Amino acid sequence: MKRHYVWLIGLLISTIAQAQQPLALIPQPVSVQTQPGTFALTRSTAIRYNKPAGQAVADRLASQLSRPTGFPLGAKAGSGSGIQLNLTDTPDAQLGPEGYRLSASPKGVVITANQPAGLFYGAQTLLQLLPKEIESAAVTRASWAVPAVQITDYPRFGWRGIMLDVSRHFFSKDDVKRYIDEMARYKFNTLHWHLTDDNGWRIEIKSLPKLTEVGAWRVARAGHFGDRTDPQPGEPVPYGGFYTHDDIREVVAYAQARNVTIVPEIDVPGHSMAALAAYPELSCTKAAVSVNPGTPFADWYGNGTFKMKVENTLNPSDEKVYEFLDKVFTEVAALFPNPYIHVGGDECYKGYWAQDPGCQALMKKLNIRHVEDLQGYFMNRVMKIVQAKGKKMIGWDEILEGGIASDATVMSWRGIKGGIEAAQAGHNVVMTPSTFAYIDYLQGDPTIEPPIYASLRASKSYSFEPVPDGVDPKFILGGQANLWTEQIPTLRHAEYMTYPRGWALAEVYWSPKTAKDWAGFVPRLEAHFDRADAAGVNYSRAIYDAIVRTSQKDGKLVVELESETPGLDLYYTIDDTMPDGRSPKYSQPITLPDGPITLRVITYRAGKPIGRLITLTRDAMQKRVGRF
């Protein structure tokens, strides 16, 4: 009995402490008003919905609450105390199709919305109001208390997406489902599924069976993607995989139940090496190629231009190419109920077109002088095919080159310039510039992160503004994060690269522009580190690491240190000792003495180390002058 009272007192203290904590919601709602008291979730709590359209959300919420609490919760029609999900009789114009109101008091929780999507997003907020243990996959003990609060919330943008590339590395349908679960928790509503590229064709096309018989498989290679050796004649091709029609339908239904729309991408006319491995006759040279395992198949010149060593483009002058694409898009359109099909259009190398007699003849027929204009002809042909299937075409900003009809939607990835031009020309735009939204980039110091060619810190993702100055906001559908997977072979690492930058972008795309504040976001971000731990979701802690910048002044090497996370102390050494909390504390730029200096830096908070150790030789520091 004594132990029971001690436990009850501890539970009461925990409940009071929780009620006093600031709310750690991501993305930040439009309006939050905290009030005294809490609502206690118990095994007798009822979950009710007022209309049949709310049942699916109520059932899912009951399941999510039952798993960690162990309470036998279920959902039923009607009204009453406990947790009530209400769809409005008369639409609330402020909320729109995805907004909600959440009212929590000691008597219960009421979520009100115009549409089931709004109920779903209100339920995600309710889960975040509960302690982190609610994320557990097993029964656990916690104070299941919801702080009293009044929330009004609705999204800033209708397109809130993440792109998952499954061509470079294949992810099973269960991996994709888990990824959808994670993004839906943070109110993302679009999964852009990059299904085809040079490194694998991942979707079954029954009328073109070789696309998956040949194009879905490649030789096994280890090591850094982009530096691997070429396939050898007769070498086995064990690595890969693809999704059957039934797999696609299953994943699409799974996503729909979580208010996530899947936009498939078939990347053409470039990035088609896997398709050409299956059907080489669709290229200009007709030469046999292999599904690429990550070899250096192009020379990049540093200014965005490149030369392909192996042909990876479809032939725009061959009518059989358009017959092929008609078959592909017929089956794709039937599998994905959303309005869009993404057709790629990026990084199309035109050197083989320039040498092809058929392409030259087509240029003469079209009265065009530049081979680059053939892409405009190709993309307009593709758009007509897509539209004939009852779909809208969306592509990367290169589809603007050579001219494209204004009803094509543009995804701006090469900075924001393409998005500005597209919007000014009357195109709808999804803003996804590499400078803010490419979450495959390094997120910490290059010496301690898996190598890739560019960097993007979480704070910069958070600073993104999707509506450029001078652009009519009505043309900006929203934005998305892009996860290219050349260097991402597993779901675990996909999670590491997605979060916390995905959480930062979730707030960019959902919350009011005026709500953004990095210093205020970091404590909420840290609370979600704890929630991710409870859920078993991987993430990066690079926001705790030191940022090391170097410059040259009066012939001396100068080091400047900072951290993304406010309030950290930075300790360093240059005497070949390991830094700790009693080493020199950084306060101003460090002018390094001559000699074979090695800089070591670590961050501390409240007297405890929190960041990773960064070690840089003089040569390494010299090479990064002006770069970071």
Q: Which residues are catalytic?
A: 347
Q: Count H helices, E strands: the chain?
A: 18, 28
601 DSSP β-pair partners: 572, 614
What is the Cα 441 distance to its own chain's centre? 12
Q: Which residues pair with 430 in a beta bridge?
A: 411, 478
Short-list 264, 359, 282, CA closest to 324: 282
Going by C-alpha positions, the residue among 204, 189, 326, 367 that lies closest to residue 262 is 189
Pairing of strands 75-77, 392-396: unpaired
Take residue 599 and report the two structure tokens written for it: 């800089």
Residue type, 581: G
Q: Give the CA diameter of the chain.
A: 93
**Burial per residue of 284-297, b for 16 or more beta-carbon CB atoms within 10 angstroms, e otherwise:** beeeebbbbbbbeb
CA 145 – CA 105 distance, rounded (Å): 11
Residues 6+ apart with CB under 8 A from 185: 124, 127
Q: Could you tell me the two tokens for 274?
A: 């896997």
* Strand spans (E) along 19-126: 31-40, 47-49, 75-77, 82-87, 100-105, 108-113
DSSP structure string for 487-548: T--SHHHHHHHHTTHHHHHHHHHHS-GGG--HHHHHHHHHHHHHHHHHHT-----GGGSEEE
Q: Please state whether the peptide bond connecting residue 523 to the residue before it is cis, i.e. omega within 30 degrees of 0.
A: no
Those residues whose C-beta lies under 8 Å from the C-beta of residue 553, and which sit 6 or more positions away, are 591
Radius of gyration over every alpha carbon of the chain, rounded to an integer in angstroms: 27
φ and ψ at residue 532, rounded to 5 degrees: -65, -40
**Three-state SS at 348:** coil
Residue type, 235: E
What CA–CA distance (Å, rounded) separates 181 from 177?
6
CA distance 169 to 492: 13
Tokens 């009620």 sit on residue: 19
Report the candidate in 374, 262, 373, 385 with the shortest Cα–Cα distance to residue 318: 374
Beta-strand relationship, 598-605 and 200-201: unpaired
**589: cis peptide before it, omega within 30°?**
no
Cα dihedral sign, 389-390-394-398: positive
| String of DSSP letters for 377-405 | HHHHHHHHHHHHTT-EEEEEGGGGTT---
From residue 350, alpha-carbon distances to 64, 342, 514 in Å are 51, 21, 44
Name, in order, each residue with C-beta under 8 angstroms of 223's C-beta and a sequence gap of 6 or more: none
**CB neighbours of 339 closer than 8 A, spacing ≥ 6?**
391, 392
